[in-house]
Chain A
Amino acid sequence: MNQSVFRLTLPILFGYLPLGTAFGVLFATQLDYPWWAAPLMGVLIYAGAGQILAVSLLAAGAGLVEVGVAMFVLNARHLFYGLSLLGRFRGAGWRKAYLIFGLTDETYSLLTSRSRGPDRHHEQLVDFRITAFNQSYWVVGCAVGALLGENVMFDSRGIEFALVALFIVLTLEQYHALKDLFPIWTGAAAAGVAMLVLPPAHQLIGAIALVTVVLLVHYHRLRTSATPVSREQSS
């Protein structure tokens, strides 16, 4: 089983090793913390964009409340992943907690797209190993990157732009899946307003609150103005 799981997760290996390494290098070059904190974050947090955002929050010495809110909202898309896996993880026992913990974008796409047999218990075991393999690639990447960043001397000024680049890429991917510019403009405009009227420490939370309000109003108007079905089709 391990061999077929390895083959199945090979594309994730090629994605997680370099991205984890990039995070590790960023961590070691931007911060003065010991290198092992990078793989520790890979073990306990296990979120690509989240950990990269964490580097800039750590560098800024952000308050823990802001950290919690920023992490939660950045990973809010995961709220909607679980919805499609509710049935699949049912009855997985103690493994269920880990299956849920390890539900990254990549693991989610692998678990939802792979072919499954009729033996539910066996399939949950395979899901479990897939999740564990994927996380091990990520943790190894984090450790390798942090050691590289700590021991190889190079001019790393500007490397923190990786975070911006990552968010731009994720925005483009969201647009690609959605084919709708409305949420993109809403997010960008909310960020603009928040940066105009709020001090830097409160801009992220402010923009997030604004986006949520706009989406609630948008939802309310869709529900009350036209019949939901026809609006759904026209948008």
Chain B
Amino acid sequence: MTYLLSFILVSALATFATRVIPFLFLERHTEHPLIKHLGRYLPAAVMALLATVFLYRSADWQAGLPGLDALVAGLIVVGMHLWRRNALLSIVTGTAAYMIVVQTGVAA
């Protein structure tokens, strides 16, 4: 329980920090080219990084068809999102596909 509460506290502080820092320190630097550069590229790079790491970790690399479970579900998310561009729909469809593959063991 102590771990959970300190976990929540740390997460809350880290999240609040990202929202409050511009108001504390950056008031005079909004036009600095380095800030603009990071603002332009960093969010996309971090999202791609997280998607890659967690996609890799959710795959079963010991299966008969290694990694297919996560790869198929990931492609469904991409396809669904390119088609309908509804975030919730893409997430639900992809997750359902992954759950079916994992629970039926078709890729094993």
- Which residues of A are interface residues toward B (Cβ below 8 A)? 15, 18-19, 22, 33, 37, 40-41, 44-47, 50-51, 53-54, 56-58, 61, 64, 67-69, 71-83, 86, 89, 96, 100-101, 103, 155-175, 178, 180, 182-188, 190-192, 194-195, 200, 203-204, 207-208, 211-212, 214-215, 218-219, 222-223, 228
**Minimum distance in angstroms from B31 CB to a CB of chain A:** 9
- B33 and A82: CB pair below 8 A? no
Closest 9 CB pairs of A and B: A187-B48, A82-B22, A158-B99, A191-B52, A158-B102, A174-B44, A71-B14, A80-B39, A187-B49
Q: Which residues of B (1-42) have their CB < 8 Å from a CB of A?
A: 3-4, 6-23, 26-27, 30, 33-35, 37-42
> Which of A69, A158, A186 lies in contact with B45, CB distance below 8 A?
A186
Seen from chain B, the residues whose Cβ lies within 8 Å of a Cβ on chain A are: 3-4, 6-23, 26-27, 30, 33-35, 37-58, 70, 73-74, 77-78, 81-82, 87-88, 90-92, 94-95, 98-103
Given contacts A40-B8, A155-B103, A158-B103, contact A164 B58 (CB under 8 A): yes
> Which residues on the B side are within 8 Å of A195 (C-beta)?
53, 56
Give A104's nearest chain B residue, CB to CB: B19
> Complex formed: what's the CA distance from A208 to B49 in Å?
8
Q: Are B95 and A207 in contact (CB under 8 A)?
A: no
A219 CB to nearest B CB, Å: 5
- Measured CB to CB, the closest approach of chain A to B55, in angstroms, equals 5
- 5 further A-B contacts with Cβ under 8 Å, apart from A80-B22, A183-B48, A207-B49, are A165-B74, A183-B41, A187-B45, A195-B53, A228-B33
Measured CA separation A96–B98 after assembly (Å):
42
**Chain A residues, CB < 8 A from B95:** 158-159, 161-162, 165
List the A side residues contacting B51 at CB < 8 Å: 164, 167-168, 170-171, 187-188
Q: Are A45 and B11 in contact (CB under 8 A)?
A: yes
User: Could you jot down 13 A-B contacts, CB within 8 Å?
Assistant: A15-B87, A22-B91, A71-B10, A71-B15, A76-B18, A81-B19, A82-B19, A86-B22, A155-B99, A158-B98, A178-B40, A178-B41, A187-B47
Nearest B residue to A84, CB-CB: B30
Partner of A163, one of B44, B54, B81, B88: B54
Q: Kindly list chain A residues whose C-beta atoms are within 8 Å of the C-beta of B81.
A: 168-169, 172
Contacts of A77 in B (CB 8 A): 18, 42-43, 46
* CB atoms of B45 and A184 under 8 A apart: yes
Is A67 within 8 A of B99, CB to CB?
no
| Shortest Cβ gap from A13 to chain B (Å) | 13
Q: Is the CB of A161 within 8 A of B49?
A: no
| Cα(A81)–Cα(B9), bound, Å | 23
Contact pick for A172, options B73, B78, B100, CB 8 Å: B78
In the complex, which residues of chain A have a beta carbon less than 8 angstroms from the beta carbon of B58?
A: 160-161, 164
